[in-house]
Amino acid sequence: MKLNRRKFLATTATASAALAAPGYLRQAMAAGDPIKVGALYSQTGGLSVVEKMLAAGVRMAAEEINAQGGVMGRPIEVVVEDGASDPKTYAEKAQKLVIRDRVSTVFGCHTSASRKAVLPIFERRNAMLFYQTHYEGFECSPNVVYSGAVPNQQLGNYIPWILETLGKKKVFIVGSNYVYPREMAKVSKGLIEAGGAEWVADEYLELGHSEWAVMVNKIKESGADVVLSNVVGDSIISFYREFINQGLSHEEIPICATVTSEIEIAAMGPEYAAGSYTSFPYFMSLDTPANKSFIERYRAFVGDPKATTYHSLEAAYFQVFLWKQAVEASGDITAEAIREGVRGQEYAAPGGNVKIDEDNLHCWLTPRIGQWQADGQSKVVDEYPEPIKPLPYAAYGETADNLFCTREGLDSSKL
């Protein structure tokens, strides 16, 4: 193809106009036209197991909103893109969604690695990312709404409960070797020391590692009376199985996990986890009409009568409703409007009430501790009476009275 000068000029002019005025173009759409949003999850690759569920949660919420008349009378159109379990692909697809499809909101990402990869695009192009996975904190972007838990909401009640109610004194910390488990360990150590107990080890295994013989042996020899696990992914299954198979029991040395969910329990066989604990704001077993109905609708939506729900799926689902409320509150779908509109939005999610924080755009959630039962479901043994404030910088001394991350952004002088 030969590109002549005139054609070249015409193309670049159109392209730069499109880039320069996305806000204008968005507003020019007539009422009744669909509102496009992105859903950026891995449909292929190693992470697709979980991320397909999250994408289904987002699509289901959009479908329900459309059935109720849409947002401001306009239906939602979900553009699904495949991140292919690879941060670089995530960045490309995020660019595609924000620049070519001109969406102002993307629901997406699962791992911290993928979120970090797309973050610069959302900040530079000024679009909003809704991120549902519980993560390590230490982030304060005005372009991200975080609907999952941060460390203070998973560990704040968990560690004191382990030390006081379970009466444990020596904690063995184990995790997969990347940023989330390491930050979780950092928060835990502070809480363990504050509670007058000690941590006897802080060990890591490669992501996806499935040979646990040596590590479990170390746990056995360490004299620890409780294990705090920040292990993620497939490794969880071989870990719990090895733990039981080396003769340890959750009665004497319980595994207290921050990531192990209904999905991993089903895959390992519930007999290996019975008696262990996990801290999450949402469990499939929550006995409320809202949750029962959510599980039923999700199973119908994915066409699998045995489908499992868990914390991130619930958050992937309810974040779409928070977004809808934000759009309706501000009456517009630009990133600025959503950002301001979403502050303080409350919603009755399947797991109870949630609220987006006015300051840091994270989510108020109710910390709960579940003990796994022989049927693969959890029994909530401890919970906060109400949602608590998210503190993404809790590991660095952030408290509700001394916020690091505010409306103005991160106050880095406090770090």
d(CA 91, CA 68): 33
Least distance from C-beta 377 to another protein, angstroms?
Answer: 15
Q: DSSP assignment, residue 69?
A: T
Q: Indicate whether 238 belongs to the interface with another protein (CB under 8 A).
A: yes
Using CB under 8 A, which of 247, 289, 331, 385 touches another protein?
A: 247
Annotate 373-390 with b (16+ C-beta within 10 A) or e (fewer). eeebbbeeeebbeebbbb
Residue number, 53 or 145, with CB nearest to another protein: 53
d(CA 299, CA 353): 22
Binding mask 176-195 for another protein (x = CB under 8 A): -x------------------
Residue number, 290 or 300, with CB nearest to another protein: 300
Residue number, 245 or 402, with CB nearest to another protein: 245
Least distance from C-beta 125 to another protein, angstroms?
Answer: 31
Tokens of 128: 């909003």
Using CB under 8 A, which of 80, 99, 179, 267 touches another protein?
A: 267
d(CA 366, CA 384): 6
Q: Which stretch binds another protein (CB under 8 A): 28-36, 105-113, 203-211, 278-286?
A: 203-211
With tokens 């103005």, the residue in question is 408
Least distance from C-beta 213 to another protein, angstroms?
Answer: 4
Q: Indicate whether 55 belongs to the interface with another protein (CB under 8 A).
A: no
Q: Indicate whether 246 belongs to the interface with another protein (CB under 8 A).
A: yes
Q: Are 326 and 336 in contact, with CB atoms under 8 Å apart?
A: no
d(CA 174, CA 242): 14
Q: Indicate whether 375 belongs to the interface with another protein (CB under 8 A).
A: no
Q: Which stretch binds another protein (CB under 8 A): 162-170, 208-216, 252-260, 398-406?
A: 208-216
Least distance from C-beta 215 to another protein, angstroms?
Answer: 6
Q: Indicate whether 174 belongs to the interface with another protein (CB under 8 A).
A: no
Closest CA to 390 of 405, 408, 411: 405
Least distance from C-beta 185 to another protein, angstroms?
Answer: 14
Q: Indicate whether 263 belongs to the interface with another protein (CB under 8 A).
A: yes
Least distance from C-beta 155 to another protein, angstroms?
Answer: 24
Q: Count of residues binding another protein (CB under 8 A)?
A: 36
Binding mask 107-146 for another protein (x = CB under 8 A): ----------------------------------------
Q: Which stretch binds another protein (CB under 8 A): 114-122, 190-198, 215-223, 382-390?
A: 215-223
Closest CA to 101 of 40, 167, 55, 50: 40
Tokens of 401: 């009275």
Least distance from C-beta 30 to another protein, angstroms?
Answer: 34
Using CB under 8 A, which of 206, 328, 358, 375 touches another protein?
A: 206
Using CB under 8 A, which of 296, 304, 346, 358 touches another protein?
A: 304
Q: Which stretch binds another protein (CB under 8 A): 46-54, 62-70, 316-324, 399-407?
A: 46-54
d(CA 47, CA 70): 31
Other beta carbons within 10 angstroms of residue 182's beta carbon come to: 17
Residue numbers of the site for another protein (CB under 8 A)? Answer: 46, 48-49, 52, 177, 203-206, 208-211, 213-215, 217-218, 234, 237-238, 241-242, 244-247, 263-264, 266-269, 271, 303-304
